[in-house]
Amino acid sequence: MERWQVEEIFHEALQRGPAQREVYLHGACCGDSGLFREVSSLLANHSDAAGCEPWPANAAAQLIVEMVSLTPGQCLGPYRIDSFLAAGGMGEIYRATDTRLSREVAIKVSPARFSERFEKEATVIASLNHPNICRLYDVGPNYLVMELVEGRTLAERIQRGALPVSEALGIARQIADALEAAHENGKTHRDLKPANIKITPEGVVKLLDFGLAEVEPAAADEAATKPARANAVAGTPAYMSPEQASGSIVDKRSDIWAFGAVLYEMLTGKAAFPAATTLETMPTGPGVADWDALPATTPPRIRTLIARCLEPERRQRLRDIGEARITLEKLDDKPAATAQFTGRWLVRAGVLIIVAAAAW
């Protein structure tokens, strides 16, 4: 491949929002997995530098030389590589087969032996057991063996346009359920976005990529006394809360912010804060999203929920994702409850009509 080709696709991808980049790359690379991996790595390292000096393209490209490239038929222990799936800042992902169990799996390979971030992801996923969170099966010296989740990412689904309200709320409820399980386990995701959410052909939501996940401080006072990490601005700018973008200590309320942004994007087909790429452009006051873009059929409770999630001042923000789950579940139950009530009313009305007719 030519260097000019890599740089051209890289710069074109930068002009697109995070939710559209992956779809663009698949089309621009025309099935060239090597080209896809190289551009993906450039983009991943460029994103990781958010809030810092941007990485020059040639410096990011230098990292690609160190990436582990596997070919179909090659084995990692008992796992046989079948095909390349994707690339990211932490390494490459392959479809593989566990030859002992004849089970298809996804293998995430790190270019180095267990970096701190790679080890953190393994630890976090291993501590979580939830149907809406991708499962971890095994750990190797420089790879993770995970559940192979078929289907498209939510980013690919949104690329086709806004989701119907009922579909968006059903997906949001599953996301909230998964986040609640993580938060109750003391973990924050810190990189919740449509590209890290997969939807299986059966409609089951799976949260992916806990590479940036953090264990929450034991107490708020402890968090307040800790200095902000100089290199802690990690994540995807369009979905980062103001405190996360500033490099401050984050907690579960940053995930709640991202949840609100994802829900808004599902309903409107566009990012809530497409210009939020630096701390200077992060929202600083209420009403920053284009509320008129929400469908007219959006329930008032959902409008209120999104507003509470996207409150810039985190002390005023929704405090627990479980509240969002409850709101969404009540909306799911409402049609059934209404139908049941209507059925009872019709039966009683019918009886009254029959009695009145007999009396007459």
Fold adopted by 79-84+91-147? Phosphorylase Kinase; domain 1 (3.30.200)
pLDDT at residue 249, as a whole number: 82
291/304: higher pLDDT: 304
Domain locations along the chain: 3-65, 79-84+91-147, 152-332
What CA–CA distance (Å, rounded) separates 320 from 149? 28
For a pLDDT cut of 70, what percent of the chain falls above it?
66
Statement: residue 48 has pLDDT above 80: no
For a pLDDT cut of 90, what percent of the chain falls above it?
41
| Closest-CA residue to 186 (of 136, 222, 154) | 222
57: burial class by Cβ within 10 Å (0-12, 13-18, 19+)?
A: middle
Give the architecture (CATH level 2) of 152-332. Orthogonal Bundle (1.10)
pLDDT tens per residue, range 78-125: 999 999 988 765 678 999 999 999 999 999 887 665 556 666 667 777
Active-site residue, selected from the candidate residues 48, 98, 177, 191: 191
pLDDT at residue 214, as a whole number: 59
pLDDT tens per residue, range 223-251: 443 443 434 456 678 898 998 888 888 89
pLDDT at residue 226, as a whole number: 44
pTM value > 0.85: no
Would you state the structure tokens that stand for residue 234, as one six-digit string?
A: 């990690």
Read out DSSP for 152-207? EEHHHHHHT-PPPHHHHHHHHHHHHHHHHHHHHTTEE-S---GGGEEE-TTS-EEE
pLDDT at residue 40, as a whole number: 77
Q: What is the mean pLDDT of residues 276-295?
A: 62
The alpha helices in 30-88, defined as continuous H runs, are 33-48, 57-65
Partners of 75 in the beta sheet?
Answer: 80
pLDDT tens per residue, range 316-336: 999 999 999 999 999 875 543
Statement: residue 287 has pLDDT above 60: no
Examine the residue annotation and report whether 191 is marked as an active-site residue of this protein: yes
The alpha helices in 66-98, defined as continuous H runs, are none
Least reliable range by pLDDT among 126-130, 161-165, 265-269: 126-130
pLDDT at residue 10, as a whole number: 77
pLDDT tens per residue, range 115-153: 566 666 677 777 788 999 998 888 887 888 999 999 999
The bridge status of strand 187-188 relative to strand 214-215 is antiparallel
pLDDT at residue 307, as a whole number: 94
CB distance 106 to 81 below 8 Å: no
Read out DSSP for 104-164? EEEEEE-SSSS-HHHHHHHHHHHT---TTBPPEEEE-SSEEEEE---SEEHHHHHHT-PPP
Statement: residue 53 has pLDDT above 50: no
pLDDT at residue 269, as a whole number: 95
Q: Which residues contact 321 (CB under 8 A, 6 or more apart)?
A: 176, 179, 180, 183, 252, 255, 256, 259
* Percentage helix, strand, coil for the chain under 3-state DSSP, each rounded to 5: 50, 15, 35
Residue 219: Cβ within 10 Å count: 9
The bridge status of strand 214-215 relative to strand 79-88 is unpaired
